[in-house]
Amino acid sequence: PLYPECEHSGPWTVPVYCCQPAWLRSAPRHFVCGGISTEDPRGKQASVQPDGTLIIKEVTVYDRGLYTCMASNPAGADTLTVKLQVGISEEGDYTCYAQNTLGKDEMKVHITVVTASPRIKQNYRTYAKVKAGDNAVFDCEAVGEPKPKIFWLLPSSDMISASTDRYLLHVNGSLSVSKVKLLDAGEYVCVARNPGGDDTKLYKLDVVSKPPLINGLYTNKTVIKATAIRHSKKQIDCMSEGTPSLQIMWIMPDNIFLTAPYYGSRITVHKNGTLEIRNVRPSDTADFICVVRNDGGESILGTVPTPVQNLSICWD
């Protein structure tokens, strides 16, 4: 007598149970109880358990067909043929019925079949060059069934699977990096994954520095005229912004170079770039030039302080 039971676990393993069987699949494959014949080319991906369960792992469309379970004992023999179909149309709810002289039973299962491994679309640019402080965007949309989940590997080897304060993971899988820093340069990997496997795409980001700003002005050369009261203290701002770290230097009369910070008896160059002249004299009437440099370039501020009785500042 044959006592079949049916079970499905997961989208990739399809077991069918019966007692004391030998399994045949539309020849030449031959499965025997408790093991698998060397005639089967799938090797470890198909096996027969000691209780007669035939397990086919990582089911593909090539596994579809008729499988026959042959069971026998001294009282006789019986067979059961199972048709295995693989495809998206086979998804759904299935009911397995088992019956013998003692009664019957049934079990319902839901089968989901993965039909397409992830595939990242190929028409996206994989290289970006942006200035520090700007935003960078890498597109990565993937198709597959079921819909792949997308995450990103950063140059730091950190993984981004959800949006953070600086990294925005879009619904379609694209990644935005806000206010890019020099440390953000490097290789980014988009990974699309579903039960059918992975697909990856490599992106590269180069970050270049912007020329520094002086006193918030978006020009790389600024000239100002400044006047000061004789014997007073005069400060000329050369406050700079930019990345990476800036080098600030004042070029004084007689081609003397003072790098910030500098502290002299009458002249100081503060760390923020401000030039301070104490006890202003007529001899201080000259060109003073502030030069600020970083990897993105340089910006220049030129000024001519003139000792007078009243203080006024004119901008060109």
3-state helix/strand/coil string of the chain: CCCCEECCECCCEEEEECCCEEEEECCCEEEECCEECCCCCCHHHEEECCCCCEEEECCCHHHCEEEEEEEEECCEEEEEEEEECCCHHHCEEEEEEEEECCEEEEEEEEECCCCEEEEECCCCCCEEEEECCCCEEECCCEEEECCCEEEEECCCCCEECCCCCCEEECCCCCEEECCCCHHHCEEEEEEEEECCEEEEEEEEEEEECCCCEECCECCCEEEEEEEEECCCCEEECCCEECCCCCEEEEEEHHHEEEECCEECCCEEECCCCCEEECCCCHHHCCCEEEEEEECCEEEEEEEEEEEECCCCEEEC
Segment 125-147 mean pLDDT: 91
Q: Are 155 and 243 members of one domain?
A: no
Q: Are 11 and 107 members of one domain?
A: yes
CATH of the domain at 20: 2.60.40.10
Q: Which of 60, 82, 111 lies at the terminal end of a domain, its last residue? A: 111
Are 4 and 100 a contacting pair, CB within 8 Å? no
pLDDT of residue 299: 87
Q: How far apart are CA 169 and CA 161, in angstroms?
A: 7
pLDDT of residue 306: 60
Q: Are 241 and 311 members of one domain?
A: yes
pTM for the model stands at 0.45
Q: Which comes out higher in pLDDT, residue 122 or 22?
A: 122
Model confidence over 34-57: pLDDT tens digits?
444 434 544 446 777 777 778 887
Q: How far apart are CA 228 and CA 276, in angstroms?
A: 12
Segment 307-313 mean pLDDT: 47
Which of 51-55, 210-214, 218-222, 290-294 shows the lowest mean pLDDT across its residues?
218-222
Are 126 and 117 a contacting pair, CB within 8 Å? no
Q: Return the percentage of the chain with pLDDT > 70, whole number.
A: 75
Model confidence over 240-251: pLDDT tens digits?
877 667 899 999
Q: Are 142 and 223 members of one domain?
A: no
Are 300 and 264 a contacting pair, CB within 8 Å? no
Q: Which of 178, 208, 238 lies at the terminal end of a domain, its last residue? A: 208
Strand ranges of the sheet holding 175-177, from the earlier edge strand across to the other edge: 136-138, 175-177, 167-169
Strands 297-308 and 221-229: parallel
Q: Are 239 and 297 members of one domain?
A: yes
Q: Domain limits at 294?
A: 213-315
Are 156 and 115 a contacting pair, CB within 8 Å? no
Q: Return the percentage of the chain with pLDDT > 90, whole number.
A: 31
pLDDT of residue 285: 82
Q: Are 231 and 269 members of one domain?
A: yes
Rg (CA), the chain: 38
Q: Are 126 and 37 members of one domain?
A: no
Q: Are 15 and 107 members of one domain?
A: yes
Residue with tokens 């100002």: 224
pLDDT of residue 262: 95
Q: Are 227 and 163 members of one domain?
A: no
Model confidence over 167-180: pLDDT tens digits?
999 999 999 999 99
pLDDT of residue 307: 54
pLDDT of residue 146: 83
Q: Which of 54, 89, 111 lies at the terminal end of a domain, its last residue? A: 111
Q: Look at residue 111 and tell me whether its pLDDT is greater than 50.
A: yes
Segment 275-281 mean pLDDT: 90
Q: Alpha carbon 266 to chain centroid distance?
A: 55
pLDDT of residue 73: 79
Q: Are 188 and 100 members of one domain?
A: no
C-alpha pair distances (Å), 192 with each of 199, 203, 205: 5, 14, 20
pLDDT of residue 314: 42
Q: Look at residue 89 and tell me whether its pLDDT is greater than 50.
A: yes
Q: Look at residue 261 and tell me whether its pLDDT is greater than 50.
A: yes
Segment 22-35 mean pLDDT: 47
Q: Are 223 and 197 members of one domain?
A: no
Provide the number of structural domains found in the chain: 3
Q: Which comes out higher in pLDDT, residue 205 or 211?
A: 205
C-alpha pair distances (Å), 21 with each of 3, 31, 105: 10, 9, 21
Q: Look at residue 109 and tell me whether its pLDDT is greater than 80.
A: yes
Report the phi/psi class of residue 123: left, alpha or beta, with left for phi > 0 and alpha for psi in -120 to 50. Answer: alpha
Q: Which comes out higher in pLDDT, residue 314 or 252?
A: 252
Instruction: Write out the two tokens for 150.
Output: 């997308």
